[in-house]
């Protein structure tokens, strides 16, 4: 199986696995206990926290709060801010956020909160003018905007967005979902990201295990605990720490930092090779977010007159693991909310495939993926009622008349 779905999850790096192993066996202690081996374990957690903080430009380790995943981190950031600031009832987010943010905001909207849903353009760029107009001094509680989109890889200028928010009202909190960007893009929370109050991420997106994440909480940020029940994490999250996974996440970030520039350049080169190969081999495809600033490892392709589920099945039969968008919504038959927001034509909306690379992806795998995608698209189109088999092009008469490629 050629694995090109790394935005969903990544393989655990062998170095990470080796670093974790002792904490499953001889170092099994509860870090909250007071005997010597447990105290030593607590020191290991502190060292991991300090290492992760340093990679994010944070000078002290305290702001790093360990969680179970990015979903918990996002929920903690939003709901914790809501509980700590009951006098403000307005939240700003975008229409293309991950469900871990979207669904929380929708639930708050049902509970009476005012939510401003910011649009994106056809390349997936945030509507900056609409964002500025949405800000309400003394009313806006929180802004939650992702750093990089999980489906298209489009990067949002959260540094600028956070600065504008603070210039409008210093008491507005800014949360960035950096799940896809941590380890891949530079993040300096003491420098260019200094106006970001809360930042979420998850270990399994950069070759650490599933089941561990983190939330950066800038000192002084008013936020209440999400999980209550113990003194762990400086009283900010109840529950015994997941020690092996915390160690693994710190190790994975260390590895990423060692080869960051090399990995970035390599993934970008392979992503561009994949994009060019698909555009040359397959007619009538859309590269979603093509003209936007994108992550180096992500390519979202929509083929006209193709049904996505059939395309995924054929790619799977070819031995290529890809997805149609967010893994958290893969069970839905609805079109991607991200592509709907980008106004992707109906003729291509259902035929989107996300390729996401890692530092372990090879040129040979990319070339095989191009050939497999070409065969799979041709196979689906040969049976599609929306494909003109005589003229070898989409039959746009069967789609909405006001839409075209």
Burial of 141 (0-12, 13-18, 19+ CB in 10 A): buried
CA–CA gap between residue 67 and residue 227 (Å, rounded): 10
CA–CA gap between residue 125 and residue 127 (Å, rounded): 6
- Residue reference for tokens 């059939």: 310
E-strand ranges in 1-44 read: 2-3
Question: Do the Cβ atoms of 134 and 116 come closer than 8 Å?
Answer: yes
User: Is residue 328 flagged as an active site residue?
Assistant: yes
Q: Measured between alpha carbons, how far is residue 41 from residues 14, 28, 38, 241, 326 in Å?
A: 22, 9, 5, 11, 36
CB proximity list for 127: less than 8 A, separation 6 or greater: 118, 119, 120, 121
CA–CA gap between residue 353 and residue 344 (Å, rounded): 13
Which residue among the candidates 69, 105, 251, 328 is catalytic per the annotation? 328
Active site members:
328
């Amino acid at each position: 199986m050629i694995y090109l779905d790394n935005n969903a999850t990544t393989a655990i790096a062998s170095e990470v696995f080796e670093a974790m192993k002792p904490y499953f066996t001889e170092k099994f202690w509860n870090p909250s206990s007071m005997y010597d081996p447990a105290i030593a374990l607590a020191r290991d957690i502190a060292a991991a926290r300090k290492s992760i903080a340093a990679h994010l430009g944070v000078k002290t380790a305290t702001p790093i709060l360990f969680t179970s995943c990015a979903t918990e981190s996002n929920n903690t950031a939003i709901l914790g801010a809501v509980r700590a600031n009951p006098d403000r009832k307005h939240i700003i987010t975008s229409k293309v956020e991950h469900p871990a943010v979207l669904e929380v905001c929708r639930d708050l909207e049902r509970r009476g909160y005012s939510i401003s849903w910011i649009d994106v353009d056809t390349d997936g760029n945030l509507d900056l003018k609409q964002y500025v107009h949405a800000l309400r001094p003394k009313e806006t509680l929180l802004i939650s905007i992702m750093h990089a989109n999980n489906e298209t890889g489009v990067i949002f200028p959260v540094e600028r967005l956070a600065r504008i928010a603070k210039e409008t009202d210093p008491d507005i909190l800014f949360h960035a979902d950096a799940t896809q960007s941590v380890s891949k893009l530079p993040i300096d929370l003491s420098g260019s990201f200094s106006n970001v109050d809360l930042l979420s991420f998850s270990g399994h997106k950069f070759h650490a295990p599933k089941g561990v994440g983190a939330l950066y909480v800038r000192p002084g940020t008013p936020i209440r605990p999400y999980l209550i029940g113990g003194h762990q994490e400086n009283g900010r999250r109840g529950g015994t720490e997941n020690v092996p996974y915390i160690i693994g996440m710190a190790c994975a970030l260390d590895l990423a930092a060692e080869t960051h520039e090399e990995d970035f350049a390599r993934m970008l080169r392979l992503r561009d090779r994949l994009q060019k190969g698909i555009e040359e081999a397959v007619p009538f495809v859309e590269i979603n977010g093509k003209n936007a600033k994108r992550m180096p490892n992500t390519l979202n392709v929509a083929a006209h007159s193709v049904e996505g589920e059939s395309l995924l099945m054929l790619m799977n039969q070819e031995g290529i693991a890809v997805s149609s968008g967010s893994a958290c919504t893969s069970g839905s038959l609805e079109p991607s909310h991200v592509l709907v927001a980008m106004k992707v034509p109906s003729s291509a909306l259902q035929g989107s495939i996300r390729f996401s690379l890692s530092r372990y992806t090879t040129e040979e795998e990319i070339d095989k993926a191009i050939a497999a995608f070409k065969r799979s698209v041709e196979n689906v189109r040969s049976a599609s009622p929306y494909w003109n088999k005589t003229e070898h092009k989409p039959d746009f008469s069967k789609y909405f008349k006001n839409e075209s490629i």
